[in-house]
Amino acid sequence: MARNDYTPAQRQAWQAQRLAAERARGLYGDHSKGVLGLPRANAFGRESKLNQQLDKQLQKQVNKAIADKAPKGATLHADFSSECLESLDWADGVASFNFVKRNKNGPYEVPMSKSEWVDWVNSDSIGSTGNDEGYFD
């Protein structure tokens, strides 16, 4: 049966069945609009997992390119959000960072190469990587 061959009663029954199935799966939307009010997944939208993966990969490439093109003697600043660190910079073979809660003796400094610093900035969790690598010891 083609789409236009359904009667209004058949179409309404199908929509009611779909809405019940979506509600059973835990997807809630504006129920006053029936099926049309349900949230739709957009594989290419801003919040999609595909977009987030692409953003991470692209950001890693951008970070590396910026670090590679930085003039000698430049200070690199990481733009990130973290519950652990307030700032993370690199200049002349030394990474410097400040903790969010314990900055009594900061800024802290750790010698490392530019590529090590870029890897740290590109890690999934800057705080966890800092702990794992022993930068906070």
Tokens of 33: 């609009």
Tens-place pLDDT, residues 54-75? 777 888 888 888 888 888 888 9
Mean pLDDT along residues 110-134: 87
Domain definitions of the chain by residue range: 3-37, 49-133
Q: How far apart are CA 124 and CA 69, in angstroms?
A: 23
Tens-place pLDDT, residues 13-25? 988 888 888 777 6
Question: How many angstroms separate the Cα of 69 from the Cα of each of 34, 64, 79?
Answer: 54, 9, 17
Tens-place pLDDT, residues 22-56? 777 666 555 556 666 655 666 566 666 766 777 77
pLDDT for the residue 28: 57
**Which of 130, 20, 29 is closest to 80 using CA atoms?**
130
Residues contacting 66, CB < 8 A, separation 6+:
76
pLDDT for the residue 3: 62
Q: How far apart are CA 40 and CA 93, in angstroms?
A: 48
